[in-house]
Amino acid sequence: MIALAARCGRCYPSAPVAASRRCVRTALVPPVEIKSMPTVFRVLPAIVLLPLALLVAPVAAQQLGQPSHGPGYQSAPAQQQAAAAPQSAYPQQGQPGVTPTATGLAPPQPQPPFMLSDVEQQFVQQVLTMWEQESSKIKTYNSKFTRMEYDQVFNPGSSAPMVVSAGQLSYSRPDKGSFKIEEIKRWQPADAQNTAPDAPGEWQVQKHEIGEHWVCDGKAVYEYDHRNKQLKVMPLPEQLRGEQIVNGPLPFLFGAKADQMSQRYWIRARQSDAAQIWLEAYPRWQADAANYHHCDVMLDRKTMQPKALQVHLPGGNQRHVYTFEDPTINGTMNALFGGLFNAPRTPLGWTRVIVDDVTGDGAQAAAPTGTQRQ
């Protein structure tokens, strides 16, 4: 969760029709790239991100010291090797998975994008350790979120998102989760012929458009593929159950461990101040790099709770920004909340597809059902 959309009240997504998109600006750096996650997660559409990164730590934490100078941004020695990526069987956010090249060889592992001094590395490790400590206290998490999608190819020159979605993210330790987009708004210019970046218009609710939805009940991941009317079921091998949900669909989501984050990402602190800590993370594993270029996470120093997450997609032209609203931490698990993680039934007229290997390459389609509802 990271830097996100400082905007004026006139043109936020819920603003009236004649709002100008010029007023909506990100408080972050210019748009960058974003990608998804490991193997079986490749099957899912761009989620994310919720992006939902750093959903982990509401309890107050001690103040962190800041390094005396900003992180360096030099090219690291090419001989540094990325850590091996463990198996993962969760849906990935963003782009499709990695495929062999024309020569039959897998793409090269990502190279270190920067080098840190000893002081900078010590600060990052301190942040990750405190983050882990606070994350370990979270048993259940439930939050509404907003996702803003920026695209400099189809929406060049504009500082406003093309799509604004609202949804809900839930988690129950150790291995249950739910991500659902409940409403989608797309920017519609008042005059279709006016392509100026500051052309007036409004975000219109797409009543017939259905967003991403996935559920993990601890034994399998279920993805609702509305376009193809399929309920995709990805059974989780024993070694990927339980605490392994940390390797799930969104980066930094669901109680990551400090050592695991260091093995999976190159991380540095950027523009932190007395109130917040901004972390920038680049994937070490090719499976992750195929889905997102890097992520920005904004942490509150007092609570060590993520304020926002920004996922930069591959290519440098698209990014997704997630903001989380009034999360409920360790709240009472009522019947409705607990039901979010139950294995779903196949909707009427849909096909149940079993993805029976963790790479997501093999799938079996069950006969369409006409009796079950979601």
- Tens of pLDDT, residues 319-356: 999 998 888 888 875 555 657 888 888 989 999 999 87
pLDDT computed for residue 338 by the predictor: 59
- ω into residue 161 within 30 of 0, thus cis? no
Please check the confidence at residue 194 and state whether its pLDDT lies above 60: yes
pLDDT computed for residue 104 by the predictor: 58
Flag whether 38 is in a domain: yes
Confidence band (pLDDT; 50, 70, 90) for 52? Answer: very low
Overall domain count for the chain: 1
pLDDT computed for residue 200 by the predictor: 87
Please check the confidence at residue 371 and state whether its pLDDT lies above 80: no
pLDDT computed for residue 197 by the predictor: 76
pLDDT tens-digit series, residues 205-245: 999 888 999 998 888 889 999 889 999 999 988 877 776 66
Please check the confidence at residue 167 and state whether its pLDDT lies above 60: yes
Flag whether 1 is in a domain: no
- Percent of the chain at pLDDT > 90 equals 28
Closest CA to 285 of 147, 106, 137: 106
Closest CA to 112 of 299, 235, 289: 289
Domain encompassing residue 190 = 6-68+88-97+109-327+336-365
The mean pLDDT value for 239-265 works out to 73
Task: Output the domain CATH number for residue 150.
Answer: 2.50.20.10
Flag whether 374 is in a domain: no
Query: What's the whole-number average pLDDT of the chain?
Result: 71
Which of these ranges, 87-96, 220-229, 272-281, 317-326, has the smallest mean pLDDT? 87-96
Tokens of 70: 């900003």
The mean pLDDT value for 135-139 works out to 86
Flag whether 142 is in a domain: yes
Flag whether 260 is in a domain: yes
Please check the confidence at residue 163 and state whether its pLDDT lies above 80: yes
pTM of the model: 0.69
pLDDT computed for residue 333 by the predictor: 59
Confidence band (pLDDT; 50, 70, 90) for 277? Answer: very high
Please check the confidence at residue 10 and state whether its pLDDT lies above 90: no
pLDDT computed for residue 336 by the predictor: 55
Identify the helix (H) or strand (E) that includes residue 41. none
Flag whether 42 is in a domain: yes
Flag whether 317 is in a domain: yes
Please check the confidence at residue 27 and state whether its pLDDT lies above 50: no
- Contact by Cβ (8 Å): 245, 175: yes
Secondary structure (3-state) at 282: strand
CA dist., res. 174 & res. 176, Å (int): 6
The mean pLDDT value for 84-94 works out to 47
More confident: 191 or 195: 191
Please check the confidence at residue 257 and state whether its pLDDT lies above 80: yes
- Percent of the chain at pLDDT > 70 equals 61
Alpha carbon of residue 211 to chain centroid: 15
**214 DSSP β-pair partners:** 179, 223
pLDDT computed for residue 36 by the predictor: 37
Closest CA to 271 of 4, 5, 28: 28
Q: What angle do CA 314, 85, 236 make, to 5 degrees?
A: 100
pLDDT computed for residue 306 by the predictor: 82
pLDDT computed for residue 5 by the predictor: 37
Which of these ranges, 28-42, 174-188, 232-246, 278-292, has the smallest mean pLDDT? 28-42
CA dist., res. 10 & res. 13, Å (int): 9
The mean pLDDT value for 107-134 works out to 91
The mean pLDDT value for 112-116 works out to 92
The mean pLDDT value for 93-104 works out to 44
The mean pLDDT value for 188-210 works out to 87
